[in-house]
Amino acid sequence: MAALAALAMAPAALAADPPSILVSRQLAARARVAVGDVVTLAVDAGGARGRQFRVTGIYEPTPDPMRFTADRLEARLHLPDAIDIAADPADPASREAVSALNVKLADARDARFAPDLMARAPGVVARPTARSATDDPFVVLDRFHVAISIVTMVAGTAFLLALMVIRAEERRETVGVLRLVGISRRTLLASVAIEGLVVAALGAAFGILLAYGSEGVVNRVFQARYDTALVFVRVTPSIAVRAIVVAAPLGVLAGIGASWTLLRRDVLAIFHR
């Protein structure tokens, strides 16, 4: 029994041995009920077919990214108790009805189960609980975030390249002297590549540390804002590794690219002669 049409909840006088019920933390706070209280649940605010229950526990609802903006005003009760409240007395068949059945297949890859069931039981719709890539909003959000990361990376590369160009210009005379004393272009390019690598890797590491340090703040702000236990940001090792793996080659390329305009010239041209 997934949902009741309407749920009225109010502290009530103690009934003899009322059945137990769990209420969500949010509902307990809103209705000001505590463990041990007796409450009345009904299908509408007028108290139709109301029944008394004793609150035996308060639970944190499983965080659901699809519903993080929703007020989780929920209660969990035994199925027979829910049916007692929700079933239509005029329709005896309604006591036999539930809105959903969860089935665990012996072979999770068995694609014939759903069509077979729907063919045998007209009116029943069977669908997998696992979302496919085409109907999972988080797959789409992941693609969106990757696209944003690529744009940020392009801007970051331009930034790094500009800095490396300034560095290369600063060292014009030093490079000229090094070339004059016989140090090859390849060696100089290797040195700027290493410099670019170090700058990019240190930048990525600083970024990871910053993200790791701010993760708790971001999560706390959003968890308080939406009254949920959902984790919004998590810096995983794979994300950290990906950041460094992407940043390092870009740093090398930026270093080589910025220095190449200087190094490809003749030694005298470097000194403006």
Helix runs in the chain, H state only = 25-31, 79-86, 113-120, 137-170, 172-180, 185-226, 237-263, 267-270
Nearer to other proteins (CB atom), residue 13 or residue 155 = 155
Site for other proteins in 219-238 (CB under 8 A): 222, 226
Q: Is 154 in the site for other proteins (CB under 8 A)?
A: yes
- Degrees to nearest 5, angle at CA 197 with 195 and 203: 100
Q: Is 137 in the site for other proteins (CB under 8 A)?
A: yes
- CA distance linking residue 255 with residue 270, whole number of Å: 18
Nearer to other proteins (CB atom), residue 17 or residue 272 = 272
In the complex, what is the shortest distance from the CB of residue 56 to other proteins, in angstroms, rounded to a whole number? 28
List residues bridging with 38 in a β-sheet.
Answer: 54
In the complex, what is the shortest distance from the CB of residue 54 to other proteins, in angstroms, rounded to a whole number? 27
Count of residues interacting with other proteins (CB under 8 A): 46
Q: Is 89 in the site for other proteins (CB under 8 A)?
A: no
Site for other proteins in 237-256 (CB under 8 A): none
Q: Is 267 in the site for other proteins (CB under 8 A)?
A: no
Both structure tokens of 57 = 């526990």
Q: Is 101 in the site for other proteins (CB under 8 A)?
A: no
- CA distance linking residue 255 with residue 248, whole number of Å: 11
Q: Is 148 in the site for other proteins (CB under 8 A)?
A: yes
Q: Report the b/e string of 59-94 with b at 16+ CB within 10 A.
A: eebeeeeeebeeebbbbebeeebbbebbbeeeeeee
Both structure tokens of 171 = 């060292």
The letter for the amino acid at 65 is P
> According to CB under 8 A, which one of 11, 34, 80, 152 is a site residue for other proteins?
152
**Residues 198-217: x where in contact with other proteins by CB under 8 A, - otherwise, as a string:** --------------------
> According to CB under 8 A, which one of 16, 79, 106, 125 is a site residue for other proteins?
125
In the complex, what is the shortest distance from the CB of residue 92 to other proteins, in angstroms, rounded to a whole number? 9
Closest CA to 234 of 258, 211, 255: 211
- Degrees to nearest 5, angle at CA 42 with 39 and 46: 110
Neighbours of 1 (CB within 10 A): 17
Site for other proteins in 19-58 (CB under 8 A): none
> According to CB under 8 A, which one of 57, 80, 115, 249 is a site residue for other proteins?
115
Residues at the site binding other proteins, with contacts judged by CB under 8 A: 5, 68-70, 86, 88, 91, 93-94, 96-97, 99, 115, 118-119, 122-123, 125, 127, 134-137, 140-141, 143-144, 147-148, 151-152, 154-156, 158-159, 161-163, 165-166, 169-170, 222, 226, 261
